Amino acid sequence: MSGGMTPATAPDLFERGLARRLGERAAATDVASVPLERIHARIARRRRRRRVRASVGAMMAVAVLVLTTTAIVRSRDPDPVTSSGRDSMPLLGFANDTWTVVRQSPGTQYAVVDGPGADAVALIVTRDGADLRVGRIERSVDRSIENMRGILQVGAISLGGNPTPSRPAVWWAVAPGFTATVTGNAVGAYTDPTELLAATVEIVEVDVSAWGERGGNIDEARLDARAATGPSPLW
Amino acid sequence: MDGDDDRTAEFEAFCCEQWAMAVRLARLLTGAAVDADRVEALVAEAFAETYERWDGDDPEALLRRRVIAGCATTDRRGRAAPDDGDEPYAPLVRPDLLDALVGLPVRQRTAIVLRLHHGLSDQAIARAIGTADGSVDPLVTDGLTRLREATGP
């Protein structure tokens, strides 16, 4: 057994005695012939174990990959409006074919406009987290939307993050995880949010009577978003 | 295949050369309480582990580490077993020196055996038991002090 230098300090009588006893015990140890077969059997067993571990690891990696992919695909599932699932993307309006789809990203966002004119209204539905708007919120109102308490926000938006002028807009949580925004299709149109909502009648039903009784104050209006009827124009 | 054959032949020569040393080291570290078959099994496992890491770079040191690790595992399992009696251990006579050695913590015991029996340097002992070079001398000194106390003058 080679191993380098011995300790610097010389062993005392006790240590020499212990070393001698260790030597005697080692010499007295019965050493059988080298069991090469036993060693090779252990090598083979360790190799099998390693292969099994590698296989299990690979299977687990594949399983994780499949589950992750499935989860991602499901999270992007467009799930048409006819589905009652709470995570499905809500489709508003489209009842009278006057709306035109101008942009869509299944499961993430879509935008429709109700005509080409200067007074056209645009509706944008986005999944929360999709950075489609840099907003300036003028006021937020806790009020009844979709038969639930919710926040109606009035302010201005810039579409797509482009350096275009901001435009007046009204937006609310149209379904869990989704925001609906209505705005004038032309920059500068519909500076009055009450007019903006009134122009979206195909999409957003406004309780005009209550609204009128209260002087057309948007803070008092009751909104109901209309779901699509018939086949979806998007998917 | 020739490369594998060469490697196997080289390894088997190493086994023949080092087997007795490894068994004796394991026997000194485990004491008489562990039967010969278990000692042989743990040494065979140490050789198998050495073969897996076989790259020709100081295989003797690698084997020594694997034997020490196997003895430490055997030691932990043995000490984890419940005692048969309720009475605390109270020896009527002073224990034999080598029995007392086996009663030391495994790192102290290993450091003492590697220094006094194998004549290894502190650096080699530190590599074998996985500790800092400077920790070896205190381990040996403390172990020897305990042995002296246990076995008397």
Choose from A103-112, A124-133, B3-12 the range with maximum mean pLDDT: B3-12
Q: Is B31 left (phi over 0), alpha (psi -120 to 50) or beta?
A: left
Cα pseudo-dihedral B54, B57, B62, B64, rounded to 10? 120
pLDDT level of residue B137 (50, 70, 90 thresholds): very high
**Residue-wise DSSP of B10-41:** HHHHHHHHHHHHHHHHHHHHH-TTS-HHHHHH
Tens digit of pLDDT for each residue in A140-151? 555 555 555 566
pLDDT, averaged across chain A:
70
Query: Which residues does chain A have within 8 Å of residue B60's beta carbon, measured at their own beta carbons?
Result: 1-2
Question: A220: burial class by Cβ within 10 Å (0-12, 13-18, 19+)?
Answer: middle
- Highest-confidence segment of A84-98, B70-84, B105-119: B105-119
**Is the CB of A18 less than 8 angstroms away from the CB of B60?**
no
What confidence score (pLDDT) does residue A88 get?
Answer: 61
- Cα B64 from Cα B7, distance rounded (Å): 20
Q: Is the pLDDT of residue A129 over 90?
A: no
In this predicted structure, the answer to whether residue A202 has a pLDDT above a threshold of 70 is no
Q: Per mean pLDDT, which range of A184-193, B25-34, B56-65, B105-114 is the poorest?
A: A184-193
Handedness of CA B138, B142, B144, B145 (dihedral sign): positive
Distance from CA of A24 to the nearest CA of B (A): 10
Between A95 and A15, the more confident residue is A15
Please determine, for the modelled complex, whether the ipTM score is greater than 0.85: no
Let me know: does A232 contact A94? Beta carbons within 8 Å: yes
Interface contact flag, A6 B112, Cβ < 8 Å: no
Whole-angstrom Cα distance, residue A219 to residue A148? 15
Of B23, B116, B123, the CB nearest to A15: B116
Three-state secondary-structure class, residue B59:
helix
Query: Would you list which residues of chain A are within 8 Å, Cβ to Cβ, of chain B?
Result: 1-7, 11, 14-15, 17-19, 21-23, 25-26, 29-32, 34-36, 38-39, 42-43, 45-46
pLDDT at B111: 94
**Comparing B77 with B120, which gets the higher pLDDT?**
B120
pLDDT at A84: 32
CB contact under 8 A, B147 and A19: no
Of A90-99, B28-37, B56-65, B95-104, give the lowest mean pLDDT range: A90-99
Please tell me the predicted confidence (pLDDT) of residue A223.
57
* HSE, side-chain direction, 13 A CA sphere, residue A16: 5
pLDDT of residue A157: 76
With beta carbons under 8 A apart, name residues in chain B contacting A43: 48, 51-52
List CB contacts (< 8 A) between B117 and chain A: 19, 22-23, 26
- pTM comes to 0.51
Banded model confidence at residue A52, pLDDT cuts 50, 70, 90: very high
Lowest mean pLDDT of A69-78, A120-129, B21-30, name the range.
A69-78
Tens digits of residue pLDDT in B8-60: 888 899 999 999 999 999 999 988 778 888 899 999 999 999 998 887 778 89
How would residue B151 be classed by pLDDT, with cut points 50, 70 and 90?
Answer: confident
pLDDT attached to residue A161: 52
pLDDT at residue B89, as a whole number:
45
What gap in Å lies between CA A33 and CA B19, rounded to an integer?
A: 8
Question: What does the radius of gyration of chain B's CA atoms come to, in whole angstroms?
Answer: 17
* pLDDT at site A94: 54
pLDDT of residue B26: 92
